[in-house]
Amino acid sequence: MHECPRLRECAFFQEKMGAMPLSTEILKDQYCRSNYAVCARYVVFQSLGKDGIPQDLFPNEPKRAREILSHA
């Protein structure tokens, strides 16, 4: 169980994405505070850097992350 190294700068974790889902805290527990390596935002960050992360990408969107990377 490790915290994501991007907690302080991540728009999702800092709740700066606009409308946040009711499941925000659950997602933070599932991804940000534990299994961040499979977070869609983190996966995109690893390949494209912070500028490659869509503002509205949520941690539980791995399919969308794969699509973004396949078109990069």
Q: Which of residues 9-68 bind ligand SF4 (CB under 6 A)?
A: 10, 12-13, 31-32, 36, 39, 41-42, 59
Instruction: Find the angle CA(48)-CA(50)-CA(66) to the nearest 5 degrees.
Output: 45
CB closer to ligand SF4 out of 39 and 68: 39
Long-range contact pairs involving 38-41 (C-beta distance under 8 Å, separation at least 24): 38/62, 39/4, 40/64, 40/65, 41/6, 41/10, 41/12, 41/65
CB closer to ligand SF4 out of 13 and 68: 13
Given the rule CB under 6 A, which residues bind ligand SF4? 4, 6-7, 10, 12-13, 31-32, 36, 39, 41-42, 59
